[in-house]
Amino acid sequence: MMNFLHSRKTGYFLLVIAVLALEIFLGWRASIMYAAILAGQIGLLELNVIKWLVFFAVAVFGFTLSVHRHYGAEAIVDHMLTRGKQVNGWAGIGTAMGIIVLHDLAATIYTVFGNGKAPTFPLIAATLGMCALCFVPFLMSRMMRALHDGVEAEQEAGHQRKMQQVQRNQQLAALRKSGAGPLSMPTISTNGYAPVNGQNGGASNGAATFQQP
C-alpha cells in the first residue's frame, strides 16, 4: 500500500486531479463574475451561454497551460522546424498563461469581495492566500512533467520484476516436479537409516567401508 502511495504514477495522478479541481473552481467563479457584470444588459439565454462558455474556456485553458504547456511549446518548435523556421514556442503560450492567471486572480477577488464586503484584515489575508494559490498549478508543472516522464520507466521496472518473479516460480515448480533441488527430501531406507554412498560407490547402512593399502 505504501509503495503504491509513494509511486510516481500515484503522485502524478493526484497532482493532475488537484490542478483540475482548482481550475474548475476558478473557471466557475470567473463565469459567475461575467454573469454578474452582464446581468440586465443582455438576454437570459445569451447570459447563460456566455456564463458556461467562460467557465469551460477558463477551466480548460487553465488546466492545459498549467499541466501541458511545456509539451505545447516543444510541439510549436518542432512544427516550425519542419518548415525551416526557428521560433520561440513560449511567446504565445506565456501571453495566454498571463491572461488565464489574471482571470483566476479576478475570480478570486470577486469571490471574496463580490458582495460588497468591506475589506478587513482577515478578508485581505484570505484573499492574498487564495491569489497565491492561483500560481501553484503553474509552478508545479515541471514537477508534474518529471513525474509523467518517470511513470513509463517505473512501469517498465515493475514489469521486469513481475517477469523475474514468474521465472523464479517456474524454476521452483520445475524443481518440485523433478524432485531435485533444496525442496526435495532425502529418501529414507526401510531399516531407518538414510542411504550413504561409500567410498566404493555402493550403498551402506551406516558402517564405513575401508580399503587396505
**Domains of the chain by residue range:** 8-163
For position 52, what pLDDT does the model report? Answer: 95
Q: Taking the mean position of all CA atoms in its chain, how far away is CA 82?
A: 32
pLDDT at position 3, please? Answer: 63
At 125-157, the pLDDT tens digits run: 999 999 999 999 888 888 887 777 777 766 676
Contact 193, 208 (CB under 8 A): no
Q: How far apart are CA 82 and CA 88, in angstroms?
A: 14
User: What's the rounded mean pLDDT across residues 73-91?
Assistant: 79
pLDDT higher at 170 or 89: 170
Determine the pLDDT at residue 155. Answer: 67
- 196-197 and 203-204 strand pairing: antiparallel
Q: Which range has the worst mean pLDDT, 18-32, 55-69, 175-189?
A: 175-189
d(CA 67, CA 57): 15
Question: Residue range 41-55: average pLDDT?
Answer: 92
pLDDT tens digits, 168-195: 887 888 888 886 555 444 554 445 444 4
Does the reported pTM lie above 0.95?
no
Residues 94-125 pLDDT 10s: 889 999 999 999 999 998 988 888 889 999 99
Query: Taking the C-alpha atoms of 43, 47, 49 and 50 in order, what is their torsion angle to the nearest 10 degrees?
Result: 130
Give Dmax (Cα) for the chain: 122
pLDDT at 1: 66
Q: For the chain, what percent of residues have pLDDT higher than 70?
A: 77
